[in-house]
Amino acid sequence: MSVAPITLVCLSLATLFVAALPVWLYRRLRAPYALDWRDTIAGVAVFAFFATVIERALNDYVLHQNAAFAQVLANPAFFVLYGALAAGLCEEIGRYIAMRIIARRVAQKSGALADGPALGYGIGHGGAEAWFVGVLVQLQWIVFAVLANRGDLEAHLSNLTLDSVLRVHLILASLSPFFAGVFALERTAAFVFQIALSVLMWRGVRAGWKGIVPLAIVVHALIDVPAAVYQARLAPLAAVDGFYVVAAVVVAVVLYRTCRNERRVARAA
């Protein structure tokens, strides 16, 4: 089999866009919001540890090692509930810990705390998700597509089982320009949500509100519900992605306006 050149080009462009988005936004906001690279690195570290290590370990235990939990989660409703809460619980606890540390450091430098640390952290957290979940995965499929077009794919998959090889071929057969567009939209929406969640957590931590962690977990879970519904095959991909695109546009507009107003207040102070 082979992947159409137009599909390969579209997938490459979409992957490049997702990879460049966090870098571009950091450079764009660095001066206006006095972003600190340490906040961004903290976001990357929190996602890498809490999402790719702790959350995956939790999922492996619940879904594969605990028969009782696995049986309960065979029910689509419970699967959706678990899938939405697991990511929110792990990531928001990590985000809260990081924000507390950042708030202490920033408070020692200045009394007026604008949203710069939250934006810097959110770019790191969301950017890490964009790279780990999106860019690196798509680069793998681009390489597989190139190998397939050259007729070298089977040789590179010789160490895999027959089921794994068939899965690779099925995914390659499903690639299309539409798939590339959906990928770019999904990752961009997720990036926007991660920045918004970071600003939400930052403002809660800054205000000393103890309820910010439960609220952030619930909000994060609600964001993940449509994706979990799709994974449980309870809704079509087009409906889920349509919801995410509309929600991301609304969140981006609100985020822009609130952060801009907060920066003005901080400057006046």
Task: Give the per-residue pLDDT at 77.
Answer: 76
Query: What are the pLDDT tens digits along the chain (269 aa)?
Result: 688 889 999 999 999 999 999 999 999 999 989 899 999 999 999 999 999 999 889 888 887 787 777 787 777 778 878 878 888 999 999 999 999 999 998 876 755 558 899 999 999 999 999 999 999 999 999 999 998 888 888 888 878 788 887 888 888 888 899 999 999 999 999 999 999 999 999 999 999 998 999 999 999 999 988 888 887 788 888 889 999 999 999 999 999 999 887 766 555 45
* Residue at token pair 């988005």: 21
Q: Around Cβ 114, how many Cβ atoms within 10 Å?
A: 22
Contact between 90 and 59 under an 8 Å Cβ cutoff? The reply is no
Number of structural domains found in the chain: 1
Domain span at residue 58 reads 5-268
Tokens of 226: 């449509």
C-alpha separations of 244 from 60, 197, 223, 240 in Å: 27, 15, 8, 6
Can you give the pTM of this predicted structure? 0.91
